[in-house]
Structure 1
């Protein structure tokens, strides 16, 4: 009898890639994939722990999953499982626990459990892991772009961050393996790939190269790949040489997500970030000179320990000065085992909430201004799907990550089309397909 598996992915794009790879493991063994809200024989929750809220969501999902099928196998894996295996093991519904370094054997472990029915916590330490765990994805059902995981781990140990403990030290996938998977994805019909990693800028550094720019140059040569989009990067990556080299690669998307965290130098020092606001601004100016129209997006934390009202206002001013195309704003939460856990000056929840509201409001305005600046221009859009299920209204992305809505009498998902931008609504660009693409 064919068995079914359902996978719930929490957190980042790296987790999304790993979940796809795990799904393929099961497909090769004859399982069929079903939606997570349906009855299944195996449920897998790929957890996140980047914030306190992420860990709480992971626990909530674990506790309610077996209500769908009490006899199902429940597997919990990922970052929360890696950093708090004893908490996961205390939840009686959980059958198997895997960390972040052993996802390549998920299907094997489940098949063994189906024979023995023995609960197990199989989280291994990351200190001894110095090799990238090879996973493989050949298809992304119903998507126009594909993730390509090329790196894992982080050596930075920012004072607020649990991720080095959840993912270990930096490890890079071989250039040959990255290129081979990108070619397979191209042959499967994907024209855009998104490079993801825990600290993408560190690609190749642990072995003295090849480095990220070398990988990008090879990917840029692949027939069928029209766009290469980069995941989160450090501003320190963008020196003159790297910026000019990347500008010379025709397929690199003009969208750079540069992690900021704070627009105040004093706060950045306490965070153990390795740049100043002047460094960050210089990187942005280099990008904008080399790649006109580039969208700069970021992550910003509010309420870090010791953040005064003046420091927060500095962040507001810096965000407005840079003119981000968009930003993810989140409130600092204590992560057990990090340096910031024991810092003085913990900010009150209501203050964090107010600062978050102010910053989100500013980012929304900047996002709308960026999108509105394209009214009257024509852009190339890779369409992905119908917008919220509305018939004949499709959404897609420009290379600089503007979401565009346009009407079409036929399904244009997975296709590139030229669109004339006619308006902006709530950060979305409204456009019309040019004449040659209307029918």
Structure 2
């Protein structure tokens, strides 16, 4: 089969969650393994793969626009194909299947979230036989992690521990497109983590739609806290995880923020709303008080912990009083970052049939008020670090200025600092530097790299 892919080029566009980014890395791994070369732009690509997300309405519109724009784009001069192969995977592929081909007749391949491994075969059929090739399975035959991977950064790795979700929040399509929750055996996850550490990875992010319930299907009860202990014991420098559901966040996991060397002091804990009435309508299965109790315990275990969250404004039936409950919760918690969304209806979810009678202007006005508060609180949270020296994992040069390096603090803040003399941001990527913070802004910190004799020597050996 391999001859089909030698001397071909491919480009992947990823929308949506971390799990999609991870899936894209797997697809790149498979196609490169078969001799294809990854390129950055549509112009240079013989094949374009869209990894889609159907959590937000805008994603469908964006996908249709991008696929349509490829229709008349000429193939690269070196191409040996008779037309550009366009494939759509991820959640929209899973949900729409055949329907996509009817909407976009120049689409060649559609695959779902459960059969990444079929993509090369589907593309090969499209190249050799022409026509449309659609294959969407109801559940996964292999865990995506069994496939090869090309990671975006050699020093950072996504490590999926569960796929799917059992929660059925009323606004969310994920359980329908990603299927029931399945955990990977503990020893498989640890074996992967050890392999990553041996390969020089500095930061592992454990992934799942709801990491806190990890292992319930395999062991009868969640074993996420045990998993954190074992990954920490591999010697990884930095450990993070996403995403957490408040109803399953146990005291054991909270304690680990105070005890585990590698577990970074940052947690994304989506609250969605501060109103009990709306939380119930969303089927979130916790109350405002329960959530605030978790925040209190987290701050006891790890006093400087950086908290982030997701909030939906304008859920069907939300009143001014419900919104005020959300607003006051954000004031009380003082998050480092909140991702705010205006509710958008997803066909196929229970919330889609709920009566939604708030005028758009009212919802927009609430949203704007919340965003102002979020920014104010983010700015305040970052002031704590002004004047401190923090360890930064360098990601590379700042997008705006090659002489400035950009990286992440333990609290996952973006940090900028001028690149030290005689060094380059690219050389330092994937290493740790100490930065003295001179200015704390709303969305980033900036300062100077501290180089004393010892640190200088250490950084040098690190970069080699």
Q: TM-score, normalised by structure 1?
A: 0.94
Displacement of 1:360 after TM fit? 1.2
Displacement of 1:395 after TM fit? 1.0
Which residue of the partner structure matches residue 102 of structure 1?
Answer: 115
Match of 2:7 among 2, 6, 22: 2
Summarize the Cα distance change of 1:352–1:84 in structure 2 as closer, same or farther, 3 Å threshold. farther
Which residue of the partner structure matches residue 25 of structure 1?
Answer: 30
Which residue of the partner structure matches residue 382 of structure 1?
Answer: 393
**In 2, Cα distance between equivalents of 1:360 and 1:68:** 39
Query: Do structure 1's residue 392 and structure 2's residue 397 form an aligned pair?
Result: no
**In 1, Cα distance between equivalents of 2:136 and 2:149:** 27
Match of 1:40 among 38, 45, 64: 45
Summarize the Cα distance change of 1:424–1:217 in structure 2 as closer, same or farther, 3 Å threshold. same
CA contact (8 A) 1:175 1:210 kept: no
Displacement of 1:359 after TM fit? 1.2
Displacement of 1:138 after TM fit? 4.8
**SS of equivalent to 2:272:** coil
Query: Do structure 1's residue 72 and structure 2's residue 84 form an aligned pair?
Result: yes
Query: Do structure 1's residue 185 and structure 2's residue 201 form an aligned pair?
Result: no
CA contact (8 A) 2:376 2:442 kept: no
Which residue of the partner structure matches residue 234 of structure 1?
Answer: 245
Summarize the Cα distance change of 1:266–1:131 in structure 2 as closer, same or farther, 3 Å threshold. farther
Which residue of the partner structure matches residue 279 of structure 1?
Answer: 290
CA contact (8 A) 1:230 1:255 kept: no
**In 1, Cα distance between equivalents of 2:186 and 2:369:** 43
Which residue of the partner structure matches residue 273 of structure 2?
Answer: 262
Q: Tell me whether 268-277 or 136-145 shows the greater mean CA deviation.
A: 136-145
For 1:166-245, list aligned pairs within 5 A: 166-208=177-219, 211-223=223-235, 225-245=236-256
Displacement of 1:246 after TM fit? 4.5
Q: How many residues align?
A: 436
**SS of equivalent to 2:55:** coil
Which residue of the partner structure matches residue 138 of structure 2?
Answer: 125
Summarize the Cα distance change of 1:210–1:361 in structure 2 as closer, same or farther, 3 Å threshold. closer
Summarize the Cα distance change of 1:19–1:135 in structure 2 as closer, same or farther, 3 Å threshold. farther
Summarize the Cα distance change of 1:285–1:210 in structure 2 as closer, same or farther, 3 Å threshold. closer
| Aligned CA-pair RMSD | 1.9
**SS of equivalent to 2:339:** strand
Post-superposition CA distance 1:119-160 (Å, at most 9, x none): 12111224xx58744444554244642211221111111111
Post-superposition CA distance 1:379-438 (Å, at most 9, x none): 111111111141321111111111111112313221111111111234211111113257
**SS of equivalent to 1:268:** helix
Match of 1:113 among 109, 126, 144: 126
**In 2, Cα distance between equivalents of 1:105 and 1:182:** 26
Query: Do structure 1's residue 350 and structure 2's residue 379 form an aligned pair?
Result: no
Which residues of structure 2 form unaligned runs of 5+?
Answer: 1-5, 76-82
For 1:326-337, list aligned pairs within 5 A: 326-337=337-348
**SS of equivalent to 1:306:** coil
**In 1, Cα distance between equivalents of 2:189 and 2:317:** 42
**In 2, Cα distance between equivalents of 1:84 and 1:153:** 18
Query: Do structure 1's residue 417 and structure 2's residue 401 form an aligned pair?
Result: no
Post-superposition CA distance 1:317-337 (Å, at most 9, x none): 111101111010001011111
Post-superposition CA distance 1:271-306 (Å, at most 9, x none): 111111111111111111101211110000000000
Displacement of 1:14 after TM fit? 0.5
CA contact (8 A) 1:384 1:414 kept: yes
**In 2, Cα distance between equivalents of 1:143 and 1:55:** 31
Q: Tell me whether 97-106 or 170-179 shows the greater mean CA deviation.
A: 170-179
Which residues of structure 1 form unaligned runs of 5+?
Answer: none
Which residue of the partner structure matches residue 427 of structure 1?
Answer: 443
Q: TM-score, normalised by structure 2?
A: 0.89
Summarize the Cα distance change of 1:130–1:198 in structure 2 as closer, same or farther, 3 Å threshold. farther
Displacement of 1:347 after TM fit? 2.8
Displacement of 1:238 after TM fit? 3.1
**In 2, Cα distance between equivalents of 1:220 and 1:159:** 35
Match of 2:94 among 78, 82, 91: 82
